[in-house]
Amino acid sequence: NAGVTQTPKFRVLKTGQSMTLLCAQDMNHEYMYWYRQDPGMGLRLIHYSVGEGTTAKGEVPDGYNVSRLKKQNFLLGLESAAPSQTSVYFCASNVGDSSYNEQFFGPGTRLTVL
C-alpha cells in the first residue's frame, strides 16, 4: 500500500498562475483533508471532504477550490496564485466519522509563488 501520495512534490509559480495539487489514497478512507503548514504555525485546514462528491470549507479556504470526484482522489486548486499562498501543503485522510481516528498524511507539496 502506498498510503497517501501527493503530486507534485515541488512547484514554483508566478503570481496569477493556476495549478492543481493531487492527493491520492489507497486505504478506502472516506474523509480527506487539505492543510497548509507555514513556519512557526501548526497545520491549518483549507478544505475537507467527508465522502465522494462532497467538499466543505475549513479554516482558511479563500483562494482555493477542491474537488472529490473519486473516493480515492482529492484535488486542491489555486485559481490565481498569490505570494501569500507560498507554503507546504499536506493532504491527509482517515476513516472519519469521529475525531478519534488518526489521520494519515502524504509527504507534502512545497509551493513557492513569486
Binding site for another protein (CB under 8 A): 4, 31, 33, 35, 40-45, 48, 50, 58-59, 90, 92, 96-108
Q: Which CB atom, from 75 or from 92, has the smaller least distance to another protein?
A: 92
Q: How far is 109 from 89, CA to CA, in rounded Å? A: 5
For the CB of residue 83, give the shortest distance to another protein in the complex, in Å.
22
For the CB of residue 47, give the shortest distance to another protein in the complex, in Å.
11
For the CB of residue 81, give the shortest distance to another protein in the complex, in Å.
22
For the CB of residue 15, give the shortest distance to another protein in the complex, in Å.
26
Mind spelling out the 3-state secondary structure of 51-114?
A: CCCCCEECCCCCCEEEECCCCCEEEEEECCCCHHHCEEEEEEEECCCCCCCCCEECCCEEEEEC
Best CA proximity match to 86, nearest among 32, 18, 13, 28: 13
